[in-house]
Amino acid sequence: MNFELDSIGKNFTSKQIYTDSERLQIWGKDWTNGFEINPSAIVFPETIEQVKEIISFAIRENVQLVPSGGRTGLSGGAVASNGEIVVSFDRMNAIKSFNASDKIVTCEPGLITADLQTFAKEQGFFYPVDFASAGSSQIGGNVATNAGGIKVIRYGLTRDWVAGLKVVTGTGHLLDCNFGLVKNATGYDFRHLMIGSEGTLGLIVEVDIRLTSPPPPQIVMVLAAEHSKDLIKVLKEFSQRLPLSAFEFFSDLALSKVLDHRELKAPFDKRSPFYALLEFDALQVEEAEKAFEVCEKAAWVQDAVLSQTENQSRKLWQLREGISESIASYTPYKNDLSVRIEDVPEFLEEVDTYVANSYPDFEVCWYGHIGDGNLHLNILRPEKLSIEKFFELGHEMSPRIFDLVSNKRGSISAEHGVGLLKKDFLSFTRSDEEIRIMRSIKSIFDPHQILNADKLIPAGVGTD
Ligand code: MLT
Ligand code: ZN
């Protein structure tokens, strides 16, 4: 470390800056596996002024920063591998105000997603963006990655709920973007540029989140299917009859892992290769039953279970939401892919065929948000293979899988972001010209290259 942390700013106390190895190992990473963890320090700003001081320090001392939220990311966006200073927003987690006329909560970036959901409920409103990591993820991180999750087919992504943003750029300027307005036709909307920029353009220091009305009571249905391709027919049949709040899927392998890990009971006596989990308004139950009859007659589904109580709904949701945690001990090679819904069946088959032919020892654990075309492909590490060797094979496999994605004009990262993990593969989804423009935009907002400098934009691509 060749900088004097004491000079970071006069308002910092010793309890806001840490350099002990235990903390460095915790705050220097997110949930992504396989990267070296090597930060120099962690700083916990408590005010916007302190964030600006950190930026000034980084410019002065030529040191790079890694913004860090709930550290639930799966693409290494919050990993510090190169002696960077981690800027953790854990202590900027307050709800600053609520404006019921505009339905806007103004909060600090470190607010936990679940705390925002609870606050919304207490006010008689609803924050609909939801995912399994809602208990740890923070709003700033959600905005930085444009987090999606399990309700996207009804409510959209984080982007759709951000009414305003305050951001400190890499030059230390505070941008106040959009002020929570609905209408603001004054040129480029930097709010939307910041959303999903993975901490490469600025540090998010305040967010205006719009809430909505609470949904009516919901019902969960789990369906069993023989073939993944039939799930898309099921999706079409249901969604033309009733509005769906969620349409998720998982394979039988994924189900086995979650049943073991959480000691749950299987939803059906007879197991099937695939399952879909649907959520919809309780008022629509008759329409849902009619849709099920059509699907059963066509042999697209073999069985169904419907929740009768909220508790049963929660239990059924565990079958889907518990998967990620249940397979963590296999250090899976994770992929987060998307294609258009009509391309999902063929794409699934192509990937399955490729992996089965090329890596017959690998188990493929499919799950995800099939209702919006987002498939999580997790390859489980065979016990006898070292983590290093397994990841080496994973990297070897990625270009082939990403070719299949690219042929379908899909995305190599649907919702987890690019970070360190996908950076070298960005060209499978974005053109050289797009990457060149990304680099130019970064140089405007972060001319000193201090903000997540090694993330998102691949070295060498799109340079003149
Ligand atoms: C999920 O949908 O469960 C999350 O994106 C996490 C994961 O993909 O493992
Ligand atoms: Zn997901």
137 lines ligand 1 (CB under 6 A): no
Sign of CA dihedral 217, 218, 219, 220: negative
Residue 229, burial from CB neighbour count under 10 angstroms (0-12, 13-18, 19+) = middle
Instruction: Flag whether 42 is in a domain.
Output: no
Per the DSSP assignment, residues forming a β-bridge with 18 are: 42
Ligand 2 center from residue 309 Cα (angstroms): 25
Ligand nearest to the CA of 73: 1
pLDDT at 282: 98
* Count of residues making up the chain: 464
Q: Is residue 315 domain-shared with residue 332, that is, in the same domain? A: no
CB < 8 Å & 24+ apart, contacts of 344-347: 344/228, 344/231, 344/232, 344/370, 344/373, 344/375, 345/228, 345/229, 345/232, 346/408, 347/375, 347/404, 347/405, 347/408, 347/410
Ligand nearest to the CA of 324: 1
Instruction: Flag whether 463 is in a domain.
Output: no
Range 329-350 burial, b when 16+ CB lie within 10 A, else e: ebbbbbbbbbbebebbbebbeb
Instruction: Flag whether 145 is in a domain.
Output: yes
Q: Is residue 149 domain-shared with residue 241, that is, in the same domain? A: no
324 lines ligand 1 (CB under 6 A): yes
Here the tokens at position 122 are 């207490």
Query: 310-321 and 252-262 are packed helices; what angle lies between their axes, rounded to 10 degrees?
Result: 110
Give the CATH number of the domain where residue 124 resides: 3.30.465.10
Instruction: Flag whether 453 is in a domain.
Output: no
320 lines ligand 1 (CB under 6 A): no
What atom in ligand 1 is closest to the CA of residue 148? 5
Domain end (from 407, 438, 455): 407
Are 446 and 419 in contact by the 8 Å Cβ rule? The answer is no
Instruction: Flag whether 451 is in a domain.
Output: no
Which residue is closest in CA terms to ligand 1's atom 6? 324
Ligand 1 center from residue 4 Cα (angstroms): 40
> Ligand 1 pocket test: which of 129, 262, 324 has the largest number of ligand atoms within 8 Å of its C-beta?
324
3-state secondary structure of 437: helix
Q: Is residue 293 domain-shared with residue 334, that is, in the same domain? A: no
The beta-strand segments (E) located in 100-191 are 104-107, 162-169, 174-177
Q: Is residue 172 domain-shared with residue 225, that is, in the same domain? A: no
Measure CA 6 to chain center. Answer: 35
Q: Give CA–CA dist 78/27, Å, rounded.
A: 9
pLDDT at 33: 87
Q: Is residue 99 domain-shared with residue 203, that is, in the same domain? A: yes
52 lines ligand 1 (CB under 6 A): no
Which positions of the chain have pLDDT values less than 70? Answer: 1-2
Of 460, 411, 413, 410, nearest in space to 439 by CA? 460
Give the CATH number of the domain where residue 269 resides: 3.30.70.2190
What atom in ligand 1 is closest to the CA of residue 376? 8
What is the residue range of 399's domain? Answer: 327-407
Q: Give CA–CA dist 334/337, Å, rounded.
A: 10
132 lines ligand 1 (CB under 6 A): yes
Q: Is residue 235 domain-shared with residue 260, that is, in the same domain? A: yes
Q: Is residue 340 domain-shared with residue 286, that is, in the same domain? A: no
Q: Give CA–CA dist 446/289, Å, rounded.
A: 54
Q: Is residue 265 domain-shared with residue 198, that is, in the same domain? A: no
Ligand 1 center from residue 125 Cα (angstroms): 26
Here the tokens at position 328 are 């963590």
Residue 459, burial from CB neighbour count under 10 angstroms (0-12, 13-18, 19+) = exposed
Vertex 79: Cα angle to 78 and 81 (nearest 5): 150
Instruction: Flag whether 250 is in a domain.
Output: yes
Q: Give CA–CA dist 167/311, Å, rounded.
A: 40
Per the DSSP assignment, residues forming a β-bridge with 107 are: 95, 207
Domain end (from 276, 309, 324): 324
Place of tokens 């299917």: 225
Q: Is residue 318 domain-shared with residue 378, that is, in the same domain? A: no
Q: Is residue 111 domain-shared with residue 205, that is, in the same domain? A: yes
Q: Is residue 222 domain-shared with residue 253, that is, in the same domain? A: yes
What atom in ligand 1 is closest to the CA of residue 369? 2
pLDDT in tens, 207-255: 999 999 999 999 999 999 999 999 999 999 999 999 999 999 999 999 9
Residue 59, burial from CB neighbour count under 10 angstroms (0-12, 13-18, 19+) = middle
What atom in ligand 1 is closest to the CA of residue 324? 9
Domain end (from 407, 438, 457): 407
pLDDT at 6: 81
Vertex 385: Cα angle to 380 and 391 (nearest 5): 65
What atom in ligand 1 is closest to the CA of residue 416? 5
Instruction: Flag whether 285 is in a domain.
Output: yes
Q: Is residue 265 domain-shared with residue 171, that is, in the same domain? A: no
Are 165 and 177 in contact by the 8 Å Cβ rule? The answer is yes
pLDDT at 2: 67
Here the tokens at position 27 are 């705050």
376 lines ligand 1 (CB under 6 A): yes
Among the residues of 305-386, which ranges form H helices? Answer: 310-321, 323-326, 344-358
Give the CATH number of the domain where residue 370 resides: 3.30.70.2740
Number of domains present in the structure of the chain = 3
Of 197, 81, 112, nearest in space to 446 by CA? 197
> Ligand 1 pocket test: which of 142, 320, 323, 415 has the largest number of ligand atoms within 8 Å of its C-beta?
323
Order of strands, sheet of 104-107, starting from the edge strand that comes earlier in the sequence: 95-99, 104-107, 202-210, 162-169, 174-177
Instruction: Flag whether 168 is in a domain.
Output: yes
